[in-house]
C-alpha cells in the first residue's frame, strides 16, 4: 500500500518520523525520495496522486495552506475521489489555527490532530491513521459488489492474505514472549505451555494442536531459536532478532525516560540488546534535531554503532564534526547478540585474554563515562542481574566500573528469568527502568522487594 504525503517543507521531519509508526506494509510517497533527477515534476506528482497511490494524506499547517504545489495536489486528489467514488484524501492537522484557513473544499472533513511533536503523540497519530486507512479499505471491499465474482474473489483473497500474515506474525510473537523463561534445562511440557497460552488469550486447545501450530510457524521461519517435539518446547537460542520483535511499545516508553538524563557533552557507554538499541534511536533523533551534540559514545553493539553512524552520515558529519564521536569495543562479533566479545571467543579458547586494557585506551580519549546504559536478560539469584554467556560480561562490567551513573533498561518479562552469569550486583547503585504491565504486576513487585536495603532503585514507566 502506498500513501502520498502532501505537506509543506516545514513538516518534512514530522513526515519522516510518522513513517516509523506505520506498518511495514504501508509505504509513503515523499517527493524528495521518489522524484527522479531530471523528471518533469508536475507530471510525476500528478501521476503519483491520481494513479500510483492508495491514499492521499494532507498535513495541514499555515505553510501548506499557502503552497501552490499543495493546492495542485489537493485538486488532483479531489478529482481522484470523484472519478473513483471512494474517499481518498485524509487530513492531519498539525497547527489547529491553520484548519480555519484551509482549502474550503476539504474543511468539512473529519481530520486527525497532532497536539505536539513528541514521539508519543506522533505514534498515536500513526496508530489512528493506520486504523482509519484499514477501515476505509474494509468499506471499499464491502462496497465493491459491482465486480465480477472472479474479480471480487481475487481482491478478497488478497485482503485475507494480508490479514492472515498479520495474525500469524502476532501469534508467533505471543509464543516467543511466553517462551522466554523456558530453556533446555527447564523445558515446558506442551500441555502446560498450551494452558499458559490460553491464559494469555491464545486459543490452543491441547498439546497436539500446539504441536501443529509450532510445526507450521517453524516451517515459515517465524520461530528461529525454538526447539520442540511432541512432549516439550523450549528456547534454545535467544538471538537479537528474536528479542527485538518483542515488547516494542514498552521499550519505547523506557527509552524516552532513560534519554532524559542525556545532555550535550556527555560520554555514554551503550551495551548491546534491543532495549538499549531503542534508546539509541532516541539519541539519533535528538542529534538530527540539534537538541544533542558533542557526544562521545562507546559501544560493543553493532546495531547501535550502525544506527548512530547512519544518522551522522545523513547529517553530513565528518571526522572532525562534534555532533558525536563513536568508539567501538573490538573483538569477535557474535551473530546471535550482534555484539563484540573478546577475540579469543572466535577460536573457542578456554582461557580468554582480559580485554579491559584495550577498553581502557578508549577512556584516554573520552575521559570518564558519564552514563552507562545496559540491558539485562534476567536475574542472578537475589543478588543482581545476569546474562547467559560469560563472554558478554566483560564489556558490561567494564562499563559499570567506569561509569559515574549506571542505568539498566529491562522489559518486565525479564524480571524473573534466572540467569547463570552475574554482571551487576544490586549494590552497584543501579538505576533500573522497566515498563508497567498488567500481566507482570506481581513480578515487578517481587523484583522491587529484591532491591530493599540495596543501593539500586526501580522505576516503572507507564
pLDDT in tens, 419-454: 889 999 999 999 999 998 887 888 899 999 999 999
Instruction: Please give the pLDDT value at position 152.
Output: 46
Residue 215: pLDDT band with limits 50, 70, 90: confident
Q: 88 near 80, Cβ under 8 Å?
A: yes
| DSSP bridge partners of 57 | 5, 90
| Mean pLDDT in residue range 253-262 | 92
Domain boundaries, the chain: 2-143, 149-237, 246-461
CA 117 to chain centre: 18
Most confident of 144-148, 222-226, 351-355: 222-226
Domain 2-143, CATH homologous superfamily name and number = Toll/interleukin-1 receptor homology (TIR) domain (3.40.50.10140)
CA proximity to 177, closest of 460, 447, 446, 439: 439
Calpha distance 2→49 (Å, rounded): 10
Instruction: Please give the pLDDT value at position 301.
Output: 92
Q: 431 near 405, Cβ under 8 Å?
A: yes
Instruction: Please give the pLDDT value at position 244.
Output: 54
The half-sphere exposure of 204 on its side-chain side, counting CA atoms within 13 A, is 25
More confident residue, 234 or 438: 234
Residue 98 has pLDDT above 90, yes or no: yes
Handedness of CA 114, 115, 118, 119 (dihedral sign): negative
Residue 142: pLDDT band with limits 50, 70, 90: low
Options 3.40.50.1860, 3.40.50.1360, 3.90.1720.10, 3.10.20.30; CATH for 246-461 is 3.40.50.1360
Q: 399-421, pLDDT tens digit by residue?
A: 999 999 999 999 888 888 888 89
Domains 2-143 and 246-461 share a fold: yes
Lowest mean pLDDT among 130-134, 153-157, 327-331: 153-157
Lowest mean pLDDT among 128-137, 251-260, 264-273, 374-383: 128-137
Q: 186 near 193, Cβ under 8 Å?
A: no
Calpha distance 243→232 (Å, rounded): 21
pTM over 0.75? The answer is: no
Amino acid at each position: 500500500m502506498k500513501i502520498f504525503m502532501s505537506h509543506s517543507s516545514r513538516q518534512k521531519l514530522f513526515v519522516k518520523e510518522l513513517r516509523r509508526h506505520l506498518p511495514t506494509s504501508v509505504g509513503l510517497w515523499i517527493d524528495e525520495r521518489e522524484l527522479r533527477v531530471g523528471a518533469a515534476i508536475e507530471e510525476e506528482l500528478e501521476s503519483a496522486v491520481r494513479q500510483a497511490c492508495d491514499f492521499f494524506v494532507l498535513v495541514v499547517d499555515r505553510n501548506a495552506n499557502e503552497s501552490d504545489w499543495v493546492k495542485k495536489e489537493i485538486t488532483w486528489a479531489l478529482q481522484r475521489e470523484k472519478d473513483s467514488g471512494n474517499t481518498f484524501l485524509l487530513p492531519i492537522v498539525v497547527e489547529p489555527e491553520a484548519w480555519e484557513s484551509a482549502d474550503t473544499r476539504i474543511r468539512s472533513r473529519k481530520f486527525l490532530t497532532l497536539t505536539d511533536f513528541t514521539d508519543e503523540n506522533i505514534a498515536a497519530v500513526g496508530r489512528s491513521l493506520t486504523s482509519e486507512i484499514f477501515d476505509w479499505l474494509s468499506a471499499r471491499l464491502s462496497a465493491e459488489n459491482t465486480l465480477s465474482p472472479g474479480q471480487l474473489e481475487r481482491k478478497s483473497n488478497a485482503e485475507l492474505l494480508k490479514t492472515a500474515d498479520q495474525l500469524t506474525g502476532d501469534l508467533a510473537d505471543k509464543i516467543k514472549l511466553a517462551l522466554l523463561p523456558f530453556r533446555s534445562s527447564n523445558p515446558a511440557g506442551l500441555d502446560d505451555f498450551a494452558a499458559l497460552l490460553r491464559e494469555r488469550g491464545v486459543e490452543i486447545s491441547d498439546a497436539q494442536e500446539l504441536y501443529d501450530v509450532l510445526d507450521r510457524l517453524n516451517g515459515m521461519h517465524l520461530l528461529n531459536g525454538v526447539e520442540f517435539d511432541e512432549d516439550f518446547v523450549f528456547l534454545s537460542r535467544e538471538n537479537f532478532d528474536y528479542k527485538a520483535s518483542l515488547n516494542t511499545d514498552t521499550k519505547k516508553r523506557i527509552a524516552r525516560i532513560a534519554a532524559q538524563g542525556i545532555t550535550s557533552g556527555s560520554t555514554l557507554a551503550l551495551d548491546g540488546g534491543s532495549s538499549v538499541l531503542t534508546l539509541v534511536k532516541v539519541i539519533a533523533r535528538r542529534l538530527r534535531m540539534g537538541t544533542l551534540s558533542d557526544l562521545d559514545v562507546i559501544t560493543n553493539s553493532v546495531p547501535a554503532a550502525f544506527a548512530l553512524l547512519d544518522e551522522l552520515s545523513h547529517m553530513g558529519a565528518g571526522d572532525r564534526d562534534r555532533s558525536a564521536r563513536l568508539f567501538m569495543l573490538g573483538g569477535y562479533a557474535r551473530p546471535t547478540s550482534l555484539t563484540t566479545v573478546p577475540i579469543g571467543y572466535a577460536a573457542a579458547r578456554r582461557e580468554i585474554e582480559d580485554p579491559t586494557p584495550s577498553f581502557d585506551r578508549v577512556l584516554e580519549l573520552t575521559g570518564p563515562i558519564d552514563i552507562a546504559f545496559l540491558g539485562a536478560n534476567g536475574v542472578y539469584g537475589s543478588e543482581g542481574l545476569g546474562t547467559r554467556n560469560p563472554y558478554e560480561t566483560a564489556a558490561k562490567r567494564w562499563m559499570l566500573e567506569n561509569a559515574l551513573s549506571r542505568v539498566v533498561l529491562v522489559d518486565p518479562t525479564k524480571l524473573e528469568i534466572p540467569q547463570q552469569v552475574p554482571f551487576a550486583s544490586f549494590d552497584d547503585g543501579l538505576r533500573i527502568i522497566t515498563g508497567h504491565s498488567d500481566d507482570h504486576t506481581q513480578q515487578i513487585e517481587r523484583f522491587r522487594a529484591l532491591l530493599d536495603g540495596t543501593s539500586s532503585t526501580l522505576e516503572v514507566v507507564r
